[in-house]
Amino acid sequence: MTVRHKAIVGRRAQAAMRMLVAGGVALALAGCMESKVARNEFAPDYRLRHPITLKEGDRTVEVFLGRNRGGLTPSQRADVLAFAQIWKREAMSGIIVDVPRGGATDLAASDSMREIHSIFGASGVPRNAVFVRPYRPPGSALASIKLNYSKLVAEAGPCGKWPADLGVSPGSRYNENQQYWNFGCANQRNLAAMVDNPADLVQPRGEGPAYTARRSVAIDKYRTGESPSGKYEGYETGKISEVGR
């Protein structure tokens, strides 16, 4: 091999080495970037990944009507009464009543509405809080009176998303044993569905007045030097069961 050929081969080897080094640096940077993206892909706290949000929802009760029957059944009266009582506690609007008109159930709807207004009045629902509007029911569908109002609801989710693999992966999330995306979502969703008053998730309720009678008894005992704690007698007189002996 001549000197010229040796020089050409050397230059090619140096160029290949530089390309290998550049590729290695690029791969390292890509790995760092991939690790950074994987680390910052979602929040490590499940309350931040699946926050419980409050929004305005609806509560609806349908009172189904028959052609040859007027008024409400006992179960329908119970539904309307419960609807009125819950409205006073959680409603964010008045009650909208959609009444079917222009069909074979017009007479039944009128009789049922008289009972509904009577139940609303007995439950303390103001007359001006009820808005009645007619609608034409479909010919093949069973007609019904629809009672509706807006209320505050809590929601979380949706659950079941898996943006990252739970198995062995090159990312730092697997190596550092960090939480996966769907972790905690079901708990947040169930909590949002079970909470009685969604506003309790944001702020505490106002304190009610103290029980004055019990407070006076405790203060009197404290003033006279007695123990203010309550006494619960009779527990030691119970008989221990013989089952399992």
Of residues 41 and 153, which shows the higher confidence score?
153
Q: Cα–Cα distance between 2 and 25 in angstroms, integer?
A: 35
Between 152 and 174, whose confidence is greater?
Answer: 152
- How many CB atoms lie under 10 A from the CB of residue 91? 18
Domain that holds residue 177: 41-203
**Contact criterion met (CB below 8 Å) for 80 and 119:** yes
Q: Is residue 242 part of a domain?
A: no
User: What CATH number should be reported for the domain holding residue 127?
Assistant: 3.30.1330.60
Beta strands in 87-165 (DSSP E): 95-100, 130-135, 144-155
Average pLDDT over residues 97-117: 91
What CA–CA distance (Å, rounded) separates 181 from 49? 7
pLDDT digits (tens, 9 = 90+) for 178-226: 788 889 999 999 999 999 889 999 888 888 888 888 888 889 888 888 8
Whether residue 124 lies inside any domain: the answer is yes
Please state the domain count of the chain.
1
pLDDT at 7 over 60: no
3-state secondary structure of 231: coil
- Does 26 fall in a domain? no
In a domain, 234, yes or no: no
Residue 125 domain-assigned (yes or no): yes
